[in-house]
Structure 1
Amino acid sequence: MKSSKLPMRGIYNDTCVNEALSTNSKSTQDDSQKPGQPQVTNVSFDTITLSWRSPEIFNTGDFFQIGYRDLDDSRWKVYVGEYHQSTHTLTNLKSNAKYVFRVRAVYSDIEGPYSDVSQVIETKSSPASRYIALCERIGTATPRRYRLKMQEVPSSKNEKAKSKKYQLGSCSTQNVKEKTMLLIGETGTGKSTLVDAIINYILGVNYDDNFRFTVNDEDLDRAQNQSMSQTEWITCFTIHPEEGSRLPYSLNIIDTPGFGDTRGIKRDQAIVEQIRQLFCARPPQGILTIDMVCCTLKAPDARLSTMQTYVFHSVMSLFGNDIKKNMCSIITFADSSSPPVLSALRDSGLPFGKHFTFNNTALFSDNTEAQKEGPSPRSFWEMGVRSFTSCFEHMKTMPERSLQLTQEVLNERRRLDATLERMQPIVEFGLTKISELKRQIQLFNDNKTRIEENKDFTYSETVYEHDIQDLPKGIHVTNCKHCNVTCHDNCVFADDKDKMNCSAMDPNGYCMKCEDHCIWSVHTNSPYLLTMKPVKKEQTFFRMKAEFDKAMGKSSNFKDLLNKLALDLKKIADDIEVNMETVNKCNTRLAEIALCPNPLTMTEHIDMMIHNEKTVKKDGWSDRIEALTNLRKRALVKADASKFQAEAGSHGVSGGSTNPDESQTERITCFTIHPEEGSRLLYSLNIIDTAGFGDIRGIERDQAIVERFRQLFCAKPPQGILTIDMVCCTLKAPDARLSTMLKYVFHSVMSFHGNDIKKNMIFSNNVC
């Protein structure tokens, strides 16, 4: 038994033994209680694995303590923990440092003597220690801070989208795996400091090291307004693995500008556009896959504010729903592993995923002074190391995700926003026109006798006139020179050569906002906005009738006048119906594929944000309220359009209703019939049905049809066609002579084909 080996128990320390014991007694005790000298079995840049012989009397319930001393320090320290095996790996040691170790056993009622001191053991060089000589020191703080010199990748820089890439090291083999993490969140949550912490972790920096690395410009950060995002560009930092790295793969860390700063909604929309361009561009300027999307939050926030709720709805609405399992939460400024913000995350109902806690105040804090009160920087550092280890282990379990569905979400959102923006003035104009129609019907009915007696009278009417608004310096717009309208009122692209990248353009370079969907090259940056404003004008019945008679080419009567008003209304109804169809398709598709709905399409979110701005009143709050109010109007466009359709319907006007003088076909539609057993054709036949030329809506309508043809012929499959076998021109059999209109129609049709199509033209007599 253990007691039979111990003639006497006592407390041992580093400097003395029990002088009452005899020399022989001490020797017996030392042999039975003293572990063997620690031997090294493995060394890395920050770990040392030791083993030793257990004392004879060491039993279950006893444990070992490990003492260590850095040869640059005269003090012995105890490595925290109780160890029940005669081997252990010590972690978080300094690189390029010399250590000695000793071990003692702690029994149930006694602390045994320390072992003989080990040989001097030196840790290896970490990647971090190898980079110091190449870096520039910043300031005089302790620990020393160095700006890490990373190599910019010129081919990855996108000036238009404000995205760039830096890399550290190089890929030594083609077999090295690559993983990508995206940091995204509200301004002030510490994303950029987190980037520094990740890089220090990967390079093997430990708490006791007398240096730290940064990739951020600290002087600039201090000078800037703290309520604004310190990050203007999307920046990708690629850290390649090398000997001693904590990660065996290349890691891409994508740092994004912060949402929700004092510049308001328009700034957030610009960030969304930056992210869309990053995700939609091909490498090296874009990315195709992602492994982890990290939402950054501050630990003390026990409840998400209105702005935070908006920010995270905005962030998650960018992604396809296949990203849900790749979402995680990075909680900063945490004092513990269970911060108050966790309850807010649970209550939000948003897919925040697994969380990891950090307090990066420890990153650059002085590590030479003991903390007198509160949690120590060392404990924060160790919490961060544990969280990083857990985070990157979790990343291993996540499947790499293609951004294809996310690209579709972003493009659908872009198309929806462009359509709603285009619809807003049309709907407002339509509702005004309905009021005008009601008033004029009443006016004409009240003056029916005068009209029939051909007597003049005066009335007021609302007309829409072009209004030019000068812009402040630094604000750019996209104006269509052909349609004479503003297609994008706050564009990041000032150079006309870059207008193809404007958010108003579709992927093929055609404007989604101007009436004729013009090519990007007829758009320009101007120092003014072009808008339509309502103006009240005095009008006389005779003047109005003369203008109408001239347009019709004949003398008109009372019924003709009312029909003209209804026809004007129908044009608006047709336009709204076409746009509503696009809106409904976009919303349906986004409901299927988006991770979350866009909060800026939900009036309740916008109302809460307006209320919050009125309450808090931070600098620039009135400008932000104005922007939010405009967005609220856009969010209500669909409801206003439905109201317009109901009002127009009450007057017998509806978009898309049939009229023998108007084409029944609004879109170009391709019907593909594939062959099967018994078919009369042995090949697949594509029948392309087009809108009819020459209806009563006039030349502008025909020009719009020509533009649709051009887009069909210029787009790549599957949205366009590359070849054609037969062009069929349809005519009515009774037409013994081509009228002026028919000649115009067929000249129009044939003018947009090349002369190589001549032998592929046929005429078909329509006797239906």
Structure 2
Amino acid sequence: MEVLSSRFQLTACIKNLKERAETIQLKQKKIQQAQEALKKHKQEMKNNGNVTEEEAEDNTVRVPVTGGNRWWGCGLFNKEPEVSTSSTRERPAPAPITEKKRTSKVRKTIEDMREKYGRGKGDCESRLENLEKEMEELQRERDQVLEETFQHVISLEKIALNVDSLSTYVHLDFLIQKTKEKRDAKKVKKLEEMKSRVNKGVVGALRYKRTAAARAAMKKTNTLLKNKDIVSKSDLIQSGSPAVYQLRPKKEEIGTLRRMTLGKKDVNQSNRTILLLGETGAGKSTLINTLVNYTMGVEWEDDVWFQIVEEKRNQSESQTSDVIVYQIFEFEGKTLPYSLTIIDTPGYEYNRGIEQEDIISQRLFDLFRSDDGVHEINAVGLVLKATENRLNDRLKYVFDSVVSLFGKNMEQNIVALITHSDGLRPENTLKALKAANIKCSKDENNQPAHFLFNNCQSKQKTQTNQDQLKSSWDLTTDEMGQFTDFLDEAAPQKLMTTVEVLNTRIRLTACIQNLQERIELTELKQRELQQTHDGLKKHEEEMKNNENFTIEIDVPYKEKESSKKGATCCKVCKENCHDPCTLALSPKWCDVMKKGGCIVCTKKCPVSDHEKEKKVYVNKTMKVQMDLKDVREKYERSKANCEKTTSLLETLEKEMEEVTAAKYQMLDESFQQVVNLEQIALNVDSLSSHVHLDFLIEKMKEKGDKEKIQKLEEMKSRVDERTRAAAAGEEADE
């Protein structure tokens, strides 16, 4: 109370001082005019001539103050009034009034001035001297009031928690100005120190207040207009509070991709791109809708909600492998100074991980390298639920799948977007990120950079839940502002390295798959040779006597079969070079073609020797009855004795050695692909590499290359550890 009373007295004192200073200034002006008039008409005054001069005249007018009566007991009344005998109530003070100084110009004669400024024997100089004395008295009075005001400020500073408040700000400039006129350097310094502190805080508050007021007025004016325009382009799917509308973006199918565009692109406006990844059910769809509403400037008071993500009719639709690109244009300046592109990927699931991850990788690769696709990304958002109790186990698989898509230049742009948040620190999620050693951006506390969002913006408001929903809305809006600030400040990452990662993965997969098929064929040939060898040994006596005999052999061959997805195959080598090949329209556009030739098939044949169709080569065997003549004709040997037969087997064994050498060469090439991928990728130990690693380790052991075996087993050990944790998490959830 003492602080408030002192502050109130300070305000009243300074206001009074200003009014009295104004009175002094008016009197100074009047005296100046009188001096000029006396000097001008000095001769006429000596001759007692009559002249007329215009002079400023001030008048005091009592004006009522609006705002009601002022009661006794306010801070300006130090004395209690008498109490009426007819009532126990205190009498109110007289109706509040204030005095206003008004100036008017009047014409006065010399006689009028003599009467006002004094008669007698004195001349003009003596009359002016009287006026100057009056001025000195007024000046002393003003200095006294100024001193009292300064002491009020000092007293207030001693008792107040913060004297540098907004109410003090207006007074300081006036006090400093008047104290400088008095030339009191010590007091000027003290007041300027106060003002310096005020400038750092209160001026900012004033600016914010003005800005906030302007924003509020603008929003109130534009709310109906902005919603009317958007609603006219939407479909009402739920009435109520809020009313929920489905936006109608322009839909485009670009190969295997879907693009949804809201508004028209302005090439002069900047853009920010977000890639969202996460498990099924993490809340990506709601987060996308929230980003869109925030971009459009939708507020709590608008009582409306817009959806751009189409609602799924059943759970199976949420398991599609489509990648959807949302482009949000024409809302620059609402809340964001840029347009927004959101890339939504289907949810990752453990039980469909390997196949789905490869499809998503292929879809993203197509998006990144397309001429009208995405060529840079500002942020990768890992969408996570804050309520998951076993998040630590499940995230390992999901994040391994995610980060293996990108190059090492992307690490500082990866952040966690925590959904279903109650606003508290997401301890489980942050522990999961840290335990899994997720490579992502870090905050000032060296923790994974993260932002919190609640997922109930479209929930219907009632009297019982309105306060909670408003709190959730405010949380999401505040965190969304911080996230979009991150988007604005984060350096965009060009996707050249990411495309290189995806391209290498595709070629690695194609190379290993082709190698597996060729080794399978080689092993079938080995079995054929072994059967032939055993048959000849069994009928060795018949061969010596040149007698005919019959043996049964499994002969390998290749046959084309139908394929749903299509493949690029070599007609010369009769091999599958890229299966499936879903994007290329012809072999020359296939990912395994480089500098006009194939990098996969045995002979590295030119593009012209390849074909793209929905058929693939399949290794098969058929049982064939062969006699000695057939065997010799097949291996181009003439009739011979047993020694000649041994020569035939040696020839077959030599052929096996050549096939094995070619197999090992492909094995070394595949190993080099894995090494290259590790050098450019954030994480090569993803589940998609797991199948390849098992195969490579097995064949390297046959070759006996210990150094490469150790390198591959180290990779596999990391994959196994993370995969087991993810599997354990899935079993625990079931």
TM-score for both structures, normalised by structure 2: 0.61
Does the CA-based 8 Å contact 1:463-1:534 persist in structure 2? Answer: yes
Give the letter aligned to residue 326 of structure 1: N
C-alpha contact 2:323 2:346 (8 A) present in aligned 1? yes
**8 Å contact kept, 1:484–1:530:** yes
SS in 2 for 1:390: helix
Unaligned 5+ runs, structure 2? 8-68, 79-152, 167-200, 442-447, 706-734
- Aligned residue identity for 1:59: A
Q: 1:595 and 1:263, CA in 2 relative to 1: closer, same or farther beyond 3 A?
A: closer
Paired residue total: 526
Secondary structure at the counterpart of residue 498 of structure 2 = helix
Which of the residues 435, 450, 471 maps onto 1:347?
435
SS of 1:376's equivalent in the other structure is helix
Instruction: Say whether 1:138 aligns with 2:240.
Output: no
Distance 1:93 1:364 in 2: 26
Q: Is 1:398 paired with 2:490?
A: yes
Partner of 2:281: 188
Secondary structure of the equivalent of 1:269?
A: helix
Name the CA distance, whole Å, in 1 between partners of 2:209 and 2:602.
Answer: 67
Task: Name the residue aligned to 1:642.
Answer: 700
Does the C-alpha gap of structure 1 residues 149 and 425 become closer, same or farther in structure 2, counting only changes over 3 Å? Answer: closer
Which of 492, 496, 499 is equivalent to 2:582? 492
Residue 427 of structure 2 is aligned to residue 317 of structure 1: no
Native 8 Å contact 1:178 1:249 kept in 2: yes
Instruction: Tell me which of 259, 263, 276 is aligned to 1:164.
Output: 259
SS at match of 1:228: helix
Query: Is 1:59 matched with 2:182?
Result: no
Q: Does 1:547 align with 2:634?
A: yes
Match 1:179 to one of 263, 272, 276: 272
Q: Distance in 1 between matches of 2:390 and 2:629?
A: 67
Q: C-alpha distance in 1, partners of 2:214/2:548?
A: 99
2:359 to 256, 264, 270: 270
How many Å separate the matches in 2 of 1:128 and 1:458? 89
Given residue 592 of structure 1, which amino acid in structure 2 is its aligned partner? Answer: Q
Tell me which residue corresponds to 2:73: 25
Q: 3-state SS of the aligned residue for 1:362?
A: coil
Where in structure 1 are there 5+ consecutive unaligned residues?
8-20, 31-53, 66-82, 100-120, 604-631, 648-768
Amino acid at match of 2:369: C
Cα deviation, 1:406-465, whole Å, max 9, x if unaligned, reads: 111111111110000101122233344445556655665666565455444544433213
Q: Take 1:29 and 1:124, find their aligned partners in 2: how far apart are those partners?
A: 48
Q: Does 1:362 find its partner at 2:473?
A: no
Residues 428 and 151 of structure 1: CA distance in aligned 2, closer, same or farther (over 3 Å):
closer
Q: Match for 2:369 among 272, 280, 287? A: 280
Equivalent of residue 199 in structure 1, options 288, 292, 311 = 292
CA distance in 2, matches of 1:138, 1:482: 60
Q: C-alpha deviations, 1:283-307, integer Å up to 9, x for none?
A: x2x2222221112222223434766
Q: CA deviation at 1:335?
A: 2.1
3-state SS in 1 of match to 2:636: helix
**Equivalent residues in 2 for 1:683-762 (5 A)?**
none
The letter of the residue matching 1:424 is: Q
- Structure 2 counterpart of 1:334: 421
Cα 1:377–1:305 change in 2 (3 A) is same
Shift of 1:538: 4.3
- 1:225 equivalent to 2:315? Answer yes
| Shift in alpha-carbon separation, 1:553–1:491, aligned structure 2, 3 A | farther
Equivalent AA in structure 1 for residue 411 of structure 2: K
Aligned to 2:650: 563
Shift of 1:347: 0.8
With 510-519 and 197-206 compared, the bigger mean Cα shift is at: 510-519
- The residue aligned with 2:309 is 216
Alignment of 1:362-441 (within 5 A): 362-367=456-461, 369-371=463-465, 376-434=468-526, 437=529
**Cα separation, 1, equivalents of 2:494 and 2:374:** 9
Identity over aligned pairs, percent: 22
* Map 1:27-176 → 2, pairs under 5 A: 59-60=160-161, 87=206, 89=208, 128-129=226-227, 131-139=229-237, 140-150=239-249, 159-164=254-259, 166-171=261-266, 174=268, 176=269
The residue type equivalent to 1:641 in the other structure is K
- Report the Cα distance in structure 2 between the residues aligned to 1:341 and 1:369, rounded to whole angstroms: 33
CA RMSD for the aligned pairs? 4.5
Alignment-derived partner of residue 66 in structure 2: none
Please state how far the C-alpha of 1:170 moved relative to its aligned partner.
4.1
Q: TM-score, normalised by structure 1?
A: 0.59
Q: Which has the higher contact order (CA 8 A, sep 6+)?
A: 2
Residue 555 of structure 2 is aligned to residue 463 of structure 1: yes
Structure 1 residue 94 displacement after superposition: 12
Match for residue 78 of structure 1? none
| SS across alignment from 1:25 | coil
Q: Counterparts of 2:497 and 2:163 in 1: how far apart (Å)?
A: 58
Aligned mate of 1:239, from 300, 312, 329: 329
Q: Compared with structure 1, are the counterparts of its residues 331 and 505 closer, same or farther at alpha carbon in structure 2 (3 Å cutoff)?
A: farther
Question: Partner of 2:607 in structure 1?
Answer: 519
2:338 to 224, 229, 249: 249
Check conservation: 1:208, 1:367, Cα contact below 8 A. no
Separation of aligned partners in 2, 1:91 and 1:428: 77
Q: Distance in 1 between matches of 2:641 and 2:500?
A: 52
Query: Equivalent residue for 2:724?
Result: none
Any idea what the Cα deviations from partners look like across 1:618-644, whole Å, max 9, x if unmatched?
A: xxxxxxxxxxxxxx3x44332343245
Separation (CA, whole Å) in 2 of partners of 1:216 and 1:467: 45
2:505 counterpart letter in structure 1: R
> 1:598/1:6 Cα in 2 relative to 1: closer, same or farther (>3 Å)?
closer
Residue matched to 2:146: none
**Distance (whole Å) between structure 2 residues aligned to residue 639 and residue 413 of structure 1:** 18
CA shift at 1:267, angstroms? 3.5
> Counterpart of 1:627?
none
Describe the shift of the 1:263–1:346 C-alpha distance in structure 2 as closer, same or farther (beyond 3 A). Answer: closer
Equivalence for 2:670: 583
- What amino acid sits opposite 1:146 in the alignment? Y
Q: Deviations over 1:51-109 (max 9, x none)?
A: xxx9x9993269999xxxxxxxxxxxxxxxxx99975847999999779xxxxxxxxxx
SS in 2 for 1:642: helix
Contact (CA 8 Å) 2:383, 2:419: kept in 1 or not? yes
Q: Matched residues in 2 for 1:142 and 1:64: separation?
A: 41
CA contact (8 A) 1:601 1:635 kept: no
Deviation digits for residues 539-588 of structure 1 (CA, Å, limit 9, x no counterpart)? 43342123222699999913431232123213422432332232122112
Matching residue's letter, 1:366 = Q
Q: SS where residue 632 of structure 2 aligns?
A: helix
Letter aligned with residue 2 of structure 1? E
**1:2 equivalent in structure 2:** 2
Structure 2 distance, partners of 1:88, 1:368, is 36
Q: In structure 2, what residue type is equivalent to 1:376?
A: Q
